[in-house]
């Protein structure tokens, strides 16, 4: 495959940015055949670095270009996807040499050594990161703390913690910025701003800089008989998609650093740093940023896992009390409406209904019995399995608008195969004003057959109606478990009754 000449609306998230065939111009790249050790690819600026011409470079080997001990170290790292870094000097200039095996070739990249980081400072940074994150009492304070630390350590003009939602739209949840900049805190951005292939690369690489959006990238050259582009997924110098360059230029941004916040192998969000002029952070400091972000990601993950565990335990406790009550005394009224241990309390719903033997009992705030009957009929036909969830009922259900305020969220579970009996939980509508960074419905336009990102990122507000809070996995699990128990009890009661009648 080769890089397409034209990127349009249909292939935006298919733009193969990993084979862009160019690098950013602050460094040099070449790639070798692992066996013959001859050059297969090199960035055009290598000709200056090594004072050679095109015909020569493709016939030289690794040993012709670098010291033997450096070559030995490069060749000792053939393990895929691991990068090693060495300090080298070429023509009296110091470089950081970064090398990795991309599966086919050994890629060697050189960049200026830049402002170093001594190990004492580095350890202080880590220790400060860990202790300040430990002090943070909740998720949001943790994000604020991380943004502040990263701003202090790396000096970007604006540092944001950007969190993805279930549909890969994102929101700036924390921000630390220079005082003259306007705030983007709380602004939302559509998923198309960071397409899926770009997100995927962050899982592989962790940290990436764009040192100067106005620099002219350097082409990667190869033998004319070679038709394959070099896979740069893990390259430190990979050049940037022209669409993203235009995007940053429309934002007046000059340089970025982006670090992946990952837990459970999923991209939770990004640390997004902007500078309004060019800015280069050298490899060792990028690694330190990656490490700090990993510490932050782990802490964030632990904290949210703990919170979830607390909620799950609480819900389990209520469920077992409820089951005990049900098996002692099968009384629908008690199960549904009495005090703290009712079916309402196993989830975070504000209303619940139990429908057994054509009888409906409700707890909390619910639609009327008539409305619930209609809703169950509809759900029965609509759902293919025994469970149905939505946090946007009025989108699917015609009569949903009448009950939108109390039942925008519906979790319905059928107790038996015949779908006669059911339990329903309801969540209310949460009306929100969502502020977007620019109109998300015009995130991209086609200009002279060329795709361009929006030019204005000014706040654009939209009323978000008809939605409830989402149903969490633990709520759905609790509903399923409760249903199993109720089904068992119903069967048991039925058997007892038939035994009595015999």
Number of other CB atoms surrounding residue 253 within 10 Å: 20
The reply on whether position 184 binds ligand BLA by CB under 6 A is yes
Q: Would you say 198 or 406 has its CB closer to ligand BLA?
A: 198
The answer to whether residues 19 and 1 touch, using CB atoms and an 8 Å cutoff, is yes
The reply on whether position 172 binds ligand BLA by CB under 6 A is yes
# residues near ligand BLA by CB under 6 A: 30
The answer to whether residues 9 and 192 touch, using CB atoms and an 8 Å cutoff, is no
Determine the Cα–Cα distance for residues 4 and 14; give it in Å rounded to an integer: 10
Q: Would you say 205 or 379 has its CB closer to ligand BLA?
A: 205
Window of 59-67, 76-84, 238-246, 318-326 that interacts with ligand BLA by CB under 6 A: 238-246
Window of 107-115, 236-244, 311-319, 355-363 that interacts with ligand BLA by CB under 6 A: 236-244
Determine the Cα–Cα distance for residues 298 and 195; give it in Å rounded to an integer: 25
Candidate list 147, 210, 211, 260; residue touching ligand BLA; CB under 6 A: 210
CB of 17 to ligand BLA, least distance (A): 4
Q: Would you say 172 or 237 has its CB closer to ligand BLA?
A: 172
CB of 419 to ligand BLA, least distance (A): 44
Window of 60-68, 191-199, 410-418, 462-470 that interacts with ligand BLA by CB under 6 A: 191-199
Output the CA torsion sign for 188, 142, 116, 46.
negative
User: How many residues in the chain?
Assistant: 502
Determine the Cα–Cα distance for residues 220 and 230; give it in Å rounded to an integer: 8
Determine the Cα–Cα distance for residues 309 and 223; give it in Å rounded to an integer: 57
Residue of minimal CB distance from ligand BLA?
12
CB of 257 to ligand BLA, least distance (A): 7
Query: How far does the chain reach from its first CA to its final CA, in angstroms?
Result: 76
CB of 117 to ligand BLA, least distance (A): 21
Determine the Cα–Cα distance for residues 439 and 495; give it in Å rounded to an integer: 61
The reply on whether position 453 binds ligand BLA by CB under 6 A is yes
The reply on whether position 207 binds ligand BLA by CB under 6 A is no
The structure tokens 């230029």 sit at 249
CB of 196 to ligand BLA, least distance (A): 10
The reply on whether position 194 binds ligand BLA by CB under 6 A is yes
Candidate list 41, 153, 189, 388; residue touching ligand BLA; CB under 6 A: 189
CB of 379 to ligand BLA, least distance (A): 37
Q: Would you say 274 or 483 has its CB closer to ligand BLA?
A: 274
The reply on whether position 218 binds ligand BLA by CB under 6 A is no
Smallest CA-to-CA distance from 154 within 261, 288, 296 is with 288
Determine the Cα–Cα distance for residues 501 and 259; give it in Å rounded to an integer: 70
Window of 42-50, 68-76, 190-198, 488-496 that interacts with ligand BLA by CB under 6 A: 190-198
Candidate list 106, 300, 451, 478; residue touching ligand BLA; CB under 6 A: 451
CA distances, 328 to each of 321, 421, 425, 489 (Å): 11, 21, 24, 10
Mind giving me the DSSP string for 163-228?
EE-TTS-EEEEEEEE-TTSPP-TT-EE-GGGS-HHHHHHHHHHSEEEE--TTSPPEEEEE-TT--P
Q: What's the 3-state SS for 400-430? A: HHHHCCCCCEEEEEECCCCCCCEEEEEECCC
Site for ligand BLA in 302-341 (CB under 6 A): none
Q: How many helices (H) and strands (E) does the chain have?
A: 13, 22
Candidate list 195, 217, 364, 466; residue touching ligand BLA; CB under 6 A: 195
CB of 11 to ligand BLA, least distance (A): 9
Candidate list 57, 136, 240, 403; residue touching ligand BLA; CB under 6 A: 240
Determine the Cα–Cα distance for residues 37 and 230; give it in Å rounded to an integer: 16
330 by DSSP, 3-state: which? coil
449 by DSSP, 3-state: which? coil
Window of 361-369, 409-417, 418-426, 443-451 that interacts with ligand BLA by CB under 6 A: 443-451
Element (H, E) at 293: helix 283-328
Site for ligand BLA in 2-41 (CB under 6 A): 12, 15, 17
The reply on whether position 444 binds ligand BLA by CB under 6 A is yes
Binding mask 241-260 for ligand BLA (x = CB under 6 A): x-xx--x--------x-x--
Q: Would you say 12 or 173 has its CB closer to ligand BLA?
A: 12
- Which residues of the chain form contacts with ligand BLA (CB under 6 A)? 12, 15, 17, 160, 162, 170, 172, 184, 189, 192-195, 198, 208, 210, 240-241, 243-244, 247, 256, 258, 270, 272, 437, 443-444, 451, 453
């Amino acid at each position: 495959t080769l890089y397409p000449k034209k990127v349009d609306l249909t292939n935006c998230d298919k733009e193969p940015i990993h084979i862009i065939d160019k690098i950013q111009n602050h460094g040099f790249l070449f790639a070798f055949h692992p066996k013959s050790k001859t050059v297969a690819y090199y960035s055009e600026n290598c000709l200056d670095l090594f004072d050679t011409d095109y015909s020569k470079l493709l016939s030289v080997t690794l040993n012709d270009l670098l010291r033997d001990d450096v070559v030995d170290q490069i060749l000792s790292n053939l393990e895929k996807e691991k990068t090693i870094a060495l300090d080298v000097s070429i023509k009296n200039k110091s470089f950081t040499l970064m090398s990795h095996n991309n599966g086919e070739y050994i890629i060697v990249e050189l960049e200026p050594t830049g402002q170093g980081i001594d190990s004492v400072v580095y350890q202080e940074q880590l220790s400060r990161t860990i202790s300040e994150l430990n002090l943070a009492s909740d998720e949001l304070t943790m994000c604020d703390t991380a943004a502040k630390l990263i701003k202090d350590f790396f000096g970007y003009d604006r540092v944001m913690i950007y969190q993805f939602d279930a549909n890969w739209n994102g929101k700036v949840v924390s921000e630390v910025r220079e005082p003259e900049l306007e705030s983007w805190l709380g602004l939302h951005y559509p998923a198309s701003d960071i397409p899926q292939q770009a997100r995927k690369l962050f899982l592989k690489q962790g940290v990436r800089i764009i040192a100067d959006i106005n620099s002219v990238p350097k082409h990667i050259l190869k033998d004319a008989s070679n038709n394959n582009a070099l896979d740069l997924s893990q390259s430190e110098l990979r050049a940037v998609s022209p669409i993203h360059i235009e995007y940053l230029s429309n934002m007046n941004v000059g340089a970025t650093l982006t670090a992946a916040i990952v837990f459970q192998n999923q991209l939770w969000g990004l640390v997004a740093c902007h500078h309004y002029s060019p800015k280069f952070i050298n490899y060792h400091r990028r690694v330190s940023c990656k490490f700090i972000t990993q510490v932050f990601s782990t802490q964030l993950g632990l904290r949210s896992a703990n919170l979830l565990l607390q909620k799950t335990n609480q819900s389990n406790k209520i469920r077992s009390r409820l089951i005990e009550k049900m098996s002692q005394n099968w009384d629908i009224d008690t199960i549904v409406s009495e005090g703290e241990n009712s079916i309402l309390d196993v989830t975070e719903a504000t209303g619940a209904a139990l429908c057994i033997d054509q009888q409906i009992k409700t707890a909390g705030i619910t639609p009327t019995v008539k409305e619930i009957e209609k809703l169950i009929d509809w759900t029965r036909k609509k759902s293919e399995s025994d469970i149905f969830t939505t946090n946007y009922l009025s989108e699917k259900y015609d009569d949903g608008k009448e009950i939108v305020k109390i039942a925008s969220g519906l979790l319905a579970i059928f107790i038996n195969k015949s779908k006669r009996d059911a339990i329903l939980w309801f969540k209310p509508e949460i009306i929100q004003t969502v502020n977007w960074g620019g109109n998300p419905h015009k995130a991209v336009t086609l200009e002279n057959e060329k795709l361009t990102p929006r030019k204005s990122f000014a706040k654009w507000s939209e009323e978000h109606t008809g939605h409830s809070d989402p149903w969490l996995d633990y709520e759905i699990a609790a509903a399923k478990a409760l249903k199993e128990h109720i089904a068992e009890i119903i069967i048991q009661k039925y058997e007892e009754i038939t035994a009595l009648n015999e």
